[in-house]
Structure formats: C-alpha cells, structure tokens
C-alpha cells in the first residue's frame, strides 16, 4: 500500500496495520507535495502528488504495482489534493 498525503491520521493507520499482522498490508511509502518530514516519519517520501499515478503503473506491463492506496484527507487540506 501507499499513502497519498501523509498526516497524523495516516501515522496512526500505519501503526495499526503494523501491529495487526492479520491485516497483511505493508505500507511502503507516501506521496506529498510538502517537502518537510511528514508523519509517519519512518516511511520514505516517494514523490509529489503529481508523481503518484505514474509511479503506481509499471511502464512495461501496464499493471498497477500496489493493491491499496490510502488518501489522508481532512477539512484543512489544500485544493490540489
């Protein structure tokens, strides 16, 4: 799984998934337009929001590389999200 827009709710979600092995969801990184460290800080930033769709699709096979995409939204998030 990947995160689109990382915030504190996403950090809680990642921690819950890691503490629930039966969920079998491995979050590998996040996409966010902000360059500062984002929660959860132990995940790599994979790029900007604009990079997410291109990153998810394997250019050779055309298949999607991830099974789950979580979007961290709240009422204060910017319009581009």
pLDDT-derived band at 31, boundaries 50, 70, 90:
very high
pTM: 0.81
pLDDT at 81: 61
Q: From CA 68, how far away is CA 75, in angstroms rounded? A: 23
Starting at the edge strand found earlier in the chain, the sheet holding 45-47 runs: 45-47, 29-31, 2-4, 69-71
Q: What is the pLDDT of residue 73?
A: 79
How much of the chain exceeds pLDDT 70, in percent? 91
What is the structure's pLDDT at 42? 82
The domains of the chain are located at 2-71
């Amino acid at each position: 799984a990947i995160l689109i827009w990382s915030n504190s709710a996403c950090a809680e979600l990642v921690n819950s998934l890691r503490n629930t092995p039966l969920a079998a969801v491995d979050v590998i990184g996040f996409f966010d337009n902000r360059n500062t460290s984002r929660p959860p800080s132990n995940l790599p930033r994979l790029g900007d929001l604009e990079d997410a769709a291109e990153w998810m699709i394997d250019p050779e096979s055309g298949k999607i590389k991830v099974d789950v995409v979580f979007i961290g939204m709240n009422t204060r998030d910017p319009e581009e999200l």
